[in-house]
Amino acid sequence: MLVSTKEMLAKAKAGHYAVAQININNLEWTKAVLEVAQELNSPVILGVSEGAGKYMGGYKTIVGMVNGMLEELNITVPVCLHLDHGGYDACIKCIEAGFSSVMYDGSHEEIEKNIELTKEIVALAHKNNVTVEAEVGAIGGEEDGKVAMGECADPQECKKIADTGIDLLAAGIGNIHGKYPENWAGLSFETLDAIQQLTGEMPLVLHGGTGIPGDMIKKAIDLGVSKINVNTECQIAFTAEVRKYIEAGKDLEGKGFDPRKVLKPGTEAIKQTVRDKMELFGSVGKA
Ligand code: 13P
């Protein structure tokens, strides 16, 4: 059964580790992530962006696929299905479709408007035992065609959003989606510390988990980050292995053209990436 983030992130915050949000893009991805979580006895959050939602045939299709896998693959670790960077309407659709958590991303709105809309989503979500992530300070880079420059959130604004009744908070601390540029200034631990001081028990979320050095990840967890989102790194790992398969001409040998064979090396690469992240974030054995 899908669970919200409530209990898993309270445990993570108290235990000083982070739960990985791994974004899913298709069936193979979903199965790979669930199998690794079970193998490592780790909680996990499956992230679905609006674009990936459309790609996979809609939110109800995804809920059906994930619930089916939990049962048929005997997945017993805590699994949350979470909308990533959702708009207002997408949050409502996901709550109705059976997601167990949603992110309402109002970071592009004025803070007062962000607060008002976040409160509305919280009211609806909580009636359905669904947790809510909100965002202050746009996370930089590009995701699903939405482009934003990395910025550091105002800790006072974070406190205001935290007080709307949300369950987890994403705050920009210089992180960006996708690959980090050579001249990236790194995470602002000063900002993170100030946000943590003002928001107390609230689990904090670090977006843009791809390519952040391990020591920065560890320090962020020490300062209150309980959920770290990873997407691009799995995509890069997947595609590199599929490329090798094709370039080696394996698709031309026997039944090597079977898509199950073509996608297998990529799927194994996703699995290894997820294993590495769970080890680094400290969630292994914490189911
Ligand atoms: P990356 O694609 O940089 O790993 O970021 C993922 C993310 O933050 C999803 O919200």
Which domains, from first to last, does the chain contain? Answer: 6-232+270-281 (3.20.20.70)
Q: How far is the CA of 178 from the centre of ligand 1 (A)?
A: 6
Where is pLDDT greater, at 176 or 28? 28
Maximum average pLDDT range among 52-56, 139-143, 179-183? 52-56
User: What per-residue confidence (pLDDT) applies to 13?
Assistant: 97
Q: Which atom of ligand 1 is nearest to the CA of 235?
A: 2
Selected catalytic residue, list 84, 89, 105, 215: 84
User: Which percentage of the chain shows pLDDT scores above 70?
Assistant: 96
- The per-residue pLDDT for range 237-248, each reduced to its tens digit, is 999 999 999 999
Measured from the Cβ of residue 264, the count of other Cβ atoms closer than 10 Å reads 15
User: What per-residue confidence (pLDDT) applies to 141?
Assistant: 67
Please identify which residue in the block is written with the tokens 């006072």.
Answer: 156
Q: Is 84 a catalytic residue?
A: yes
User: What per-residue confidence (pLDDT) applies to 132?
Assistant: 98
Ligand 1 atom 1 nearest Cα: 208
Provide the 3-class DSSP secondary structure of residue 117.
helix
Q: How far is 136 from 126, CA to CA, in rounded Å?
A: 21
What pTM was estimated for this model as a whole?
Answer: 0.96
Cβ < 6 Å from ligand 1: which residues? 23, 47, 84-85, 177-178, 207-210, 229-233
Q: How far is the CA of 23 from the centre of ligand 1 (A)?
A: 8
71 Cβ contact partners less than 8 Å away, ≥ 6 residues apart = none
CA nearest to 196, candidates 153, 151, 133 = 153
Assign 137 a pLDDT band (cuts: 50, 70, 90): confident
User: What per-residue confidence (pLDDT) applies to 148?
Assistant: 55
- The per-residue pLDDT for range 116-132, each reduced to its tens digit, is 999 999 999 999 999 99
Q: How far is the CA of 180 from the centre of ligand 1 (A)?
A: 11
User: What per-residue confidence (pLDDT) applies to 149?
Assistant: 55
